[in-house]
Amino acid sequence: MLTIEILILVSYVILAFIKPRIALITLPVVCFLLAWAGVVTQEYDALFSAFVIFIATLAIISVTKPKPETKQWPQICAKWILISIPFLLLLAAAVFVFDSLAARFILLIFSVALLILIGVTVSCAITSRHATASYVLSTIGSSMRQNLPLPMALESAAAGKTDSRSIILQRITKWLVQGYSLSQSIRRGYPKCPGYTVAMIDAAEKIDQLPLAMGAIEADMVTRAEERRKIRPVHPLYPVVVLVFTFFLLWVVMTFVIPQFKSVLREMFGGAALPASTRLLVGITNVVAYESGWLLGSVLAFILLVVIPVSIRIKFRPRRPEKPYLLSRIGDFVKWHLPVLRWFEKNYSMVQAVELLRLSLNAGSTVDDAIANTLGLDVNNCFRKQLKGWLEKVQRGDNIATAAREAKLGSPLAWAFDDQVNQGNTLAILEMLESFYRSNYSYHVNLARFIIWPCIILAMGATVGFVVYAIYSPLIAIIEQTVEIVYP
* pLDDT confidence band for 29 (50 / 70 / 90): confident
pLDDT digits (tens, 9 = 90+) for 336-355: 988 888 888 888 888 888 88
The mean pLDDT value for 289-309 works out to: 68
pLDDT tops 80 at residue 122: no
Q: How far does CA 460 lie from the centroid of its chain?
A: 24
Whole-number pLDDT of residue 167: 86
Q: How confident is the model at residue 249 (pLDDT cuts 50, 70, 90)?
A: confident
Given a cut of 80, whether residue 228 has pLDDT beyond it is: no
> Looking at 190-199, 449-458, 475-484, which range is the least confident one?
475-484
**Residue length, the chain?**
488
Average pLDDT over residues 119-129: 68
Whether the pLDDT of residue 358 is over 80: the answer is yes
Query: What torsion, rounded to 10 degrees, do the Cα atoms 258, 264, 267, 272 define?
Result: -70
What is the pLDDT of the chain when averaged over all its residues?
78
Give yes or no for residue 12 having a pLDDT over 60.
yes
Going by pLDDT thresholds of 50, 70 and 90, the confidence category of residue 81 is confident
Mean of the pLDDT values across residues 12-33? 81
> What is the domain partition of the chain in residue ranges?
2-97, 135-215, 253-397+423-488
pLDDT digits (tens, 9 = 90+) for 182-219: 888 888 888 888 777 888 888 888 777 778 778 777 77
CATH fold of 135-215: Receptor-associated Protein (1.20.81)
pTM of the model: 0.62
- DSSP secondary structure letter of residue 149: -
Percent of the chain with pLDDT over 90: 2
| Contact partners, residue 468, CB within 8 Å, separation at least 6 | none
- pLDDT on residue 56: 87
- Render 22-51 in DSSP notation, one character per residue: HHHHHHHHHHHHHHHHHHHTT-THHHHHHH
The 10s digit of each residue's pLDDT in 148-161 is 788 888 888 887 77
**Residue 312 in contact with residue 124, Cβ under 8 Å?**
no
pLDDT score, position 447: 81
Alpha carbon distance 391, 385 (integer Å): 10
Say what the pLDDT of residue 231 is.
Answer: 46
pLDDT at 488: 57
Rg (CA), the chain: 31
Question: Between these two residues, 447 and 173, which has the higher pLDDT value?
Answer: 173
Mean pLDDT over 42-49 rounds to 79
pLDDT band at 117 (very low <50, low <70, confident <90, very high): low
DSSP, residue by residue, 373-410: HHTTS---HHHHHHHHHHHHHHHTT--HHHHHHHTT--
Residue 477 CA to residue 262 CA, distance in Å, equals 11
Q: What are the DSSP calls for 268-336, one per residue?
A: HTTSPPPPHHHHHHHHHHHIIIIITHHHHHHHHHHIIIIIHHHHHHHHHSPP-TTS--HHHHHHHHHHH
Mean pLDDT score, 223-246? 62
pLDDT of residue 471 exceeding 60, the answer is: yes
Q: With DSSP H G I counted as helix, E B as strand and the rest as coil, what are the percentages for the chain, rounded to 5?
A: 80, 0, 20
Q: Which comes out higher in pLDDT, residue 315 or 6? A: 6
User: Of 119-123, 168-172, 198-202, which range is least confident?
Assistant: 119-123
Confidence of residue 69 (pLDDT cuts 50, 70, 90): very low
Measured distance CA(120)–CA(439) in Å, rounded: 29
Looking at the chain, the whole-number percentage of residues with pLDDT higher than 70 is 80
Mean pLDDT computed over 413-434? 83
Closest CA to 456 of 270, 239, 263, 135: 239
| Residue 120 or residue 361, greater confidence | 361
Look at the alpha carbons of 302, 304, 307, 310 in this order and tell me if their dihedral is positive or negative.
negative
Is residue 113 over pLDDT 70?
Answer: no
